[in-house]
Structure 1
């Protein structure tokens, strides 16, 4: 396991230690055992929170409007069981210690993700402005690419004291993390990622071509120009938490993690040996259409078929815009400043196009070059990123023909799956002339554009400059002691509430924050030997900007 973890930097709390402590997460008074808690959304945040609340002796009732798993969506190709397209999360850095707690608990297998210039990819092709380069490591590329890599490392040192901060996070020195990080919040909240790059001393000494290459090829997983308008704090967190390093995929599909957790027996207060599926009668409730305060003070949740149930606590894990577009939500449940934050949350677009092929033919050697006929590909063409997944020499393989964001994702938005494949094959044909990809395709392609899904309206949050205060309001909402009674009992979780959107670890951590909040709401508390996130939040919580 990597020494690095998503320990902060905004709230340096060791969630993995809290989960692993034999004292457990806490206790709910026996008089509240069996109390029902509504959970809106059966994605990572909802299922993980439900599992932990069940162990505390509460009864989580899960509602789901679409597919179980949320954006951990693994879709099998027709006629197969384990040849899958990862439509949502597909890369899971080992620094995501909270997430891997559940991966290990469930015995799920992981393997290195075939990112560019990694051993798992084998080889990488970079195609920019019509120039095609083949490489196995960074050293195989022209000096310009190494200059770009060194410039970004230097920019991080200059603008964010990167080595000092990462060392403090690795050592889990919370006080030191806050000492270095908190001033950076004020310095970079209102400045963009592109501003960070262009104003750094290292990049100022280089030309536009270096910045262009950085945007197209980037670092770690590929080009980051889609994030250039985002707040630099968003990118700093990715780097500091090693979220773009040492990534793995879940063999057989990451959605299996949630399906297994749904059926995973656990020793529970009140329930004895129980599963989350068992407490829910084997199935989730349907879509939530209304959330409102009942005359008696409970929170009434109405589902698609008109069933109304009353709860003392509700956990909302869906994307925030659904609270104003799909769910009729009582405005009095949230402060107007929090509504501002929820409504101003900006989601990014993303599109993926997958095909199943007869075999992993990309390993075939071109006799003219002695190289594989195809490689993991980064390009400025419409495909942007192309990845290969090998399920065995004589088994069908999978190609993610295109993974793109923002403007590049919008280019294919009107098109059906077959047209998207045609566009991708045309682009790749210019990079690999003579390679007949189409002849290897089997079955139907699988595509996704998250912004067209009424249950998501976008792929993941991308905070703009000035959004720190909004994120702080959403993230800290689980601390409800000072809230008026009318606003207590409804909690928020999900990667969009976290400081690290697009990464499952953010969903895990905010789910655990909500577990602490609900535990406290029902009069429970953590063992003094294992204080929870809310116990340490007053001293270690995110810095407040005026």
Structure 2
């Protein structure tokens, strides 16, 4: 049931590559399916305790299987919420922090766990209050788009026109909204063929809407963009990836989880499901594991071509399993594990190894109160605002818990080359650089005087368990994604490759978005259920049942 305080989405993450309504499958009163009684209790290894791993484990436990979760770092993966010491509700969201309401499968689990959410303070939204755009040394204050110079409206309108001209965006969005699978595929599949080899920047630069404008318009689009901010870090990516974000409403109506999004994977870990077979009432993943996940996996092999899978953890313990789900980022299979090459085809290894990950850095501080809400008596404007800039910080965001309560500033949120500038620096140096930038934009505000406690930072590319923030597919990568996403369909695979499944947002069509992780997890659940001799209920077909009819277009090799 949808939370009463959350608005209904205009569109949901229905397709466009695979037009399947995941949240309908997992909320159907008949359940997602069943496995034969003789398969109850069989063990399934799950590599990674992020949201994909937790969804897999939770749903497989409900089916009567015995999931065993391995984690090399922290439970939650890139849903990592770090609390500031000594303050209730002061959270640094180091990974995912913006969750669009179109992510209906993800919000099913949020609502099941009773986690509250609020509108994210994105630029030019009511939740932000005010926005400052600082480009080329010019600082502009705005509370709505109409407060900005006409150039910014021209940029926004040009992008809308480019979408209409190139991809019939309104018609395609209407088909997604109506869940008209045939119409979505009719419109989307030709776009895949036309735009697989072309980048986001190519889309902008070649559009008539932008060609009528100046380079300055394209520059502003890259620095400030639309919705949540600038898009120049994505300019090299395939345009298909950006179109999916626009089409599925991922850049609209975003929310954050009160108390931190890590509550979702942790909640699935401890929750005792209402409906479950085989296991006694009161069973949870935590209880099945004796309280903790197993250590990180260092080796994955198989006994013969159809025997059990053998996993060894970092402390030398060896266990056998009937199936394996890998939710870790694809490079880790090569850099951190002795993963038997026979278990995946060479074409699949090509796709996994060619996956390109983007860099990302964030730095947070806790402050004594949300002082940015103070009004300047001379101008009537808020003292500070959500800030988008071409300077090193790129994006600055504010999170508050009440007018006199400790609050949090994300001083800098940067990507790619801007993130790499931060990577070798200590947390204190990162704070100093960010404060120096913000001092130039807000010369009369002493931010440092409000800072309490120790700062928190992250650079995902320097974490050996991630090696980057998330996938950023390049032009020509559609075929790689096609191989990875459809790997859960295993009827035609040779025997030695059956029983290993892939999940996570990097396997999905929508990297960096939690819905992609949840959807691929549910694909893997269907795959394991089928591998164990199970099937879905007649009135509630699963993703694998509908994949031949509604799956992604095959461009061939």
Whether the TM-score (by the shorter chain) exceeds 0.5 is yes
Map 1:112-261 onto structure 2 (within 5 A): 112-261=119-268
Instruction: Tell me how far 1:79 sits from its aligned partner.
Output: 1.9
Give secondary structure in 2 for the equivalent of 1:355: strand
Give secondary structure in 2 for the equivalent of 1:249: strand
Give secondary structure in 2 for the equivalent of 1:114: coil
Matched, 1:397 2:407: yes
Q: Match for residue 319 of structure 1? A: 329
Q: Match for residue 418 of structure 1? A: 428
Q: Match for residue 268 of structure 1? A: 276
Number of positions where the alignment pairs a residue of Structure 1 with one of Structure 2: 546
Matched, 1:376 2:386: yes
The TM-score with structure 2 as length reference comes to 0.97
Q: Match for residue 365 of structure 1? A: 375
Q: Match for residue 293 of structure 1? A: 302
Task: Find 2:51's aligned residue among 38, 44, 47.
Answer: 44
Q: Match for residue 96 of structure 2? A: 89
Give secondary structure in 1 for the equivalent of 2:422: coil
Task: Find 2:485's aligned residue among 454, 459, 475.
Answer: 475
Q: Cα deviations across residues 471-502 of structure 1 (Å, max 9, x unaligned)?
A: 00000000000000000000000000000000
Give secondary structure in 2 for the equivalent of 1:180: helix
Instruction: Tell me how far 1:280 sits from its aligned partner.
Output: 1.3
Alpha-carbon distance in 2 for matches of 1:81, 1:110: 16
Question: Where do 4+ consecutive residues of structure 1 move more than 3 Å?
Answer: none
Q: Match for residue 3 of structure 2? A: none
Alpha-carbon distance in 1 for matches of 2:489, 2:16: 19
Q: Cα deviations across residues 409-437 of structure 1 (Å, max 9, x unaligned)?
A: 01111100000000000000000001000
Instruction: Tell me how far 1:82 sits from its aligned partner.
Output: 2.5
Instruction: Tell me how far 1:81 sits from its aligned partner.
Output: 4.3
Instruction: Tell me how far 1:277 sits from its aligned partner.
Output: 1.1
Instruction: Tell me how far 1:281 sits from its aligned partner.
Output: 1.2
Q: Match for residue 500 of structure 2? A: 490
Q: Match for residue 310 of structure 1? A: 320
The TM-score with structure 1 as length reference comes to 0.99
Task: Find 1:442's aligned residue among 444, 452, 470.
Answer: 452
Structure 1 unaligned regions, length at least 5: none
CA RMSD of aligned residues (A): 0.7
Q: Match for residue 32 of structure 1? A: 39
Task: Find 2:348's aligned residue among 338, 353, 375.
Answer: 338
Q: Cα deviations across residues 243-269 of structure 1 (Å, max 9, x unaligned)?
A: 000000000000011111111111211
Give secondary structure in 2 for the equivalent of 1:116: coil
Q: Match for residue 521 of structure 1? A: 531
Matched, 1:68 2:68: no
Alpha-carbon distance in 2 for matches of 1:491, 1:291: 13
Q: Match for residue 4 of structure 2? A: none
Give secondary structure in 2 for the equivalent of 1:272: coil
Instruction: Tell me how far 1:119 sits from its aligned partner.
Output: 0.1
Matched, 1:509 2:519: yes
Instruction: Tell me how far 1:529 sits from its aligned partner.
Output: 0.2
Alpha-carbon distance in 1 for matches of 2:100, 2:16: 17
Give secondary structure in 2 for the equivalent of 1:7: coil
Alpha-carbon distance in 2 for matches of 1:185, 1:49: 29
Give secondary structure in 2 for the equivalent of 1:242: coil
Instruction: Tell me how far 1:226 sits from its aligned partner.
Output: 0.3
Instruction: Tell me how far 1:282 sits from its aligned partner.
Output: 1.4
Alpha-carbon distance in 2 for matches of 1:99, 1:162: 25
Give secondary structure in 2 for the equivalent of 1:545: coil
Q: Cα deviations across residues 9-64 of structure 1 (Å, max 9, x unaligned)?
A: 00010001101110100000000000010000000000011100000000100000
Alpha-carbon distance in 1 for matches of 2:280, 2:181: 37
Instruction: Tell me how far 1:391 sits from its aligned partner.
Output: 1.0
Residues 87 and 406 in structure 2, CA contact (< 8 A), matched pair in contact too: no
Task: Find 1:280's aligned residue among 275, 278, 289.
Answer: 289
Matched, 1:105 2:115: no
Alpha-carbon distance in 1 for matches of 2:189, 2:18: 10
Instruction: Tell me how far 1:3 sits from its aligned partner.
Output: 2.6
Structure 2 unaligned regions, length at least 5: 1-7
Instruction: Tell me how far 1:80 sits from its aligned partner.
Output: 2.9
Give secondary structure in 2 for the equivalent of 1:268: coil
Alpha-carbon distance in 1 for matches of 2:225, 2:285: 41
Give secondary structure in 2 for the equivalent of 1:411: helix
Instruction: Tell me how far 1:272 sits from its aligned partner.
Output: 3.4
Alpha-carbon distance in 2 for matches of 1:439, 1:429: 13
Alpha-carbon distance in 2 for matches of 1:406, 1:97: 29
Task: Find 1:386's aligned residue among 396, 421, 424.
Answer: 396
Q: Cα deviations across residues 308-328 of structure 1 (Å, max 9, x unaligned)?
A: 111110000000000000011
* Bigger mean CA deviation after superposition, 80-89 or 469-478: 80-89
Alpha-carbon distance in 2 for matches of 1:44, 1:237: 21
